[in-house]
Amino acid sequence: MSIRETILKLKEELPSGVELVAVSKFHPADAVREAYAAGQRIFAESRPQELYAKVKELAAVTGADGTPAYSDIIWHFIGHLQTNKLKLVLPYVAMVQSVDSLHLLEAIDRWGRENGRVTDVLLECHIAAEQTKQGFSGDEVKRILSGERSFPNVKFRGLMGMATFTDDEAVVRGDFGRIRDLFLAVAGRLKDFTELSVGMSEDYRIALEYGSTMVRIGTMIFGPRVY
Ligand SMILES: *Cc1c(COP(=O)(O)O)cnc(C)c1O
């Protein structure tokens, strides 16, 4: 199926209120343009330098009337973000979905104070069984959202998680069930804390059953990545 056909099929399949985030990492700007032509507007990248390069490449493209052709693309960042890379990312994204440490949260807040911007973030939760997956525990999320410390230049918009990489659907359901329960436990406390970003190419249909409001889909749209 072409990029266009997959986008159109996904848009038809996703319930209203669920955002499709097209994960374009490792694919060229031309693939983004193809998805854009099919109506897709939200894209996500996971490496600072790659995001920056794609943003700049697309910003240089003008339409027939000479105005920028892709100025309404909305970028999300979904990868591990080192604090020395903030300036490659924060000026260009509407949301950082992958805030996975207090250190990063503090750095984003500080950057916002220095640059006069409030950044929308999701807290990345450690829901998978594997030890290697980064992110906060449920208790850490509750603590951060308790308001005992304030982050005036950050707006908490919700949670992000990745299920265990496995064919065992019961394990995936367990992971999604835990993050949904955490989301429901904390969502009522904060204004605009409305997003539960779970579900990727292999498991987005299951994620929808657990209340996902944002699915992050790469391979299904753009094909396999060549690393
Ligand atoms: C790469 C990536 C995705 C997309 O994964 P696919 O399996 O290609 O759909 C989603 N979320 C995150 C955090 C990723 O790094």
Instruction: Give mean pLDDT, residues 43-49.
Output: 98
The CATH number that applies at residue 21 is: 3.20.20.10
CA 114 – ligand 1 centroid, Å: 31
Residue 158 has pLDDT above 90, yes or no: yes
Q: Note the pLDDT tens digit of each residue in 89-115.
A: 999 999 999 999 999 999 999 999 999
Q: What six digits make up the tokens of 70?
A: 């892709």
Is 58 domain-assigned? yes
Question: What's residue 72's pLDDT?
Answer: 97
Is 175 domain-assigned? yes
Residue 131 has pLDDT above 90, yes or no: no
Q: What is the percent of the chain with per-residue pLDDT over 70, rounded to a whole number? A: 98
- Which residues contact ligand 1 via a Cβ below 6 A? 23, 25, 46, 78-79, 162, 200-202, 216-220
State how many domains the chain has.
1
Question: What's residue 133's pLDDT?
Answer: 63
Q: What is the percent of the chain with per-residue pLDDT over 90, rounded to a whole number? A: 93
Is 157 domain-assigned? yes
Question: What's residue 132's pLDDT?
Answer: 61
CA 140 – ligand 1 centroid, Å: 24
Determine the atom of ligand 1 nearest the C-alpha atom of 202: 7
Is 56 domain-assigned? yes
CA 113 – ligand 1 centroid, Å: 30
Which of 24, 78, 124, 214 should be mutated for ligand 1, with most atoms under 8 A from CB?
78
Determine the atom of ligand 1 nearest the C-alpha atom of 204: 9
Q: Do 44 and 24 contact (CB within 8 A), yes or no?
A: yes
Question: What's residue 95's pLDDT?
Answer: 98
Determine the atom of ligand 1 nearest the C-alpha atom of 200: 9
Is 142 domain-assigned? yes
Given phi > 0 = left and psi -120 to 50 = alpha, else beta, which region is 61?
A: beta
Is 227 domain-assigned? no
Q: What six digits make up the tokens of 44?
A: 């996500």
Question: What's residue 128's pLDDT?
Answer: 81
Residue 122 has pLDDT above 80, yes or no: yes
Instruction: Give mean pLDDT, residues 23-51.
Output: 98
Is 19 domain-assigned? yes
Question: What's residue 226's pLDDT?
Answer: 84
CA 21 – ligand 1 centroid, Å: 10
CA 216 – ligand 1 centroid, Å: 6
Instruction: Give mean pLDDT, residues 180-190.
Output: 93
Residue with the two structure tokens 């995001």: 51
The whole-chain average pLDDT of the chain stands at 96
Is 98 domain-assigned? yes
Which of 45, 47, 200, 215 should be mutated for ligand 1, with most atoms under 8 A from CB?
200
Burial class (CB in 10 A: 0-12, 13-18, 19+), 132: exposed
DSSP per residue, 26-65: TS-HHHHHHHHHTT--EEEES-HHHHHHHHHHHHT-B-TT
Residue nearest to ligand 1 atom 12, measured at CA = 78
Task: State how far the Cα of 143 lies from the Cα of 70, in Å rounded to an integer.
Answer: 39
- Tell me which residue range forms the domain holding 72: 3-222
Question: Residue 113: helix, strand or coil by DSSP?
Answer: helix
Q: Note the pLDDT tens digit of each residue in 189-218.
A: 889 999 999 999 999 999 999 999 999 999
State the pLDDT confidence band at 146, using cuts at 50, 70 and 90: very high
